[in-house]
Structure 1
Amino acid sequence: FYSFLYIYKFIVYRWPILHIKVAMSDYDTVVKGPLKLKSDSGIKKKKKKSKMENEKKLLEQVSKTNEVSTKEKFEVKSTKAEIKFQQMQEKMQKERILQKASMTHKQRVEEFNRHLDSLTEHFDIPKVSWTK
């Protein structure tokens, strides 16, 4: 009876191990054939269209846009206030240019020095020293 239990336990517990080859090499578990990553998910690649068809479509679109642009030409018209504003800006710019051109650099420096002399001492840069 003891031998029967021993044989029974051996068969039950070791049976899956008996089917495995004893001398397995690393190359026995290699998967041969292509990898199936998507596993038939139903996703198919779209067919590529020829470049000639794409170029023809682009040419047609460009010709259509040219027709539309020739039919509708918009002129940007500014209002009276905008025109007056631009005229005043040009006038003021001309005056500034003439004023700057009328004085030499030396005259501008002298005028700037006179302006600095006319300011109060409150705006002067105080003396800074480490020793008294």
Structure 2
Amino acid sequence: MDYVGGSLKLKNVKKKPLKKKKKDSKKLAEKVQEHSSRDKSPLEENGVSTYQMLRSKDTDSAMPMTEAQKHFESVQEQRLLQKAKNERLKTHKDRIDEYNRLLESQSEHFDMPKIGPG
């Protein structure tokens, strides 16, 4: 016995094929042009995007960094490098031990079971 999937079929009833609607490509093209021309600003039509316009404003108004700002940036970068170096040297076991010490120091409100053996 052959099994045919799908919906139930009634005897003596012919199935009419569904007709697909044809889309008018001319109307669709006109709508796309209307939307694209409406969305563009005058600068974008000249080839200058909004991003480029904003970027140029930022560079024009940017003030040179003071000595204190330069020092702050360098110290921050050094701290970040030192932190990355320390994290790189830790093993998984060290990280688990540190996490367990953190959990022990917190109150019971944050109580969680210890992780790992021991």
- Please report the TM-score for the alignment, with normalisation by the length of structure 1: 0.33
Higher RCO (CA 8 Å, separation ≥ 6 residues): 2
- Please report the TM-score for the alignment, with normalisation by the length of structure 2: 0.36
Whose radius of gyration is greater, 1 or 2?
A: 1
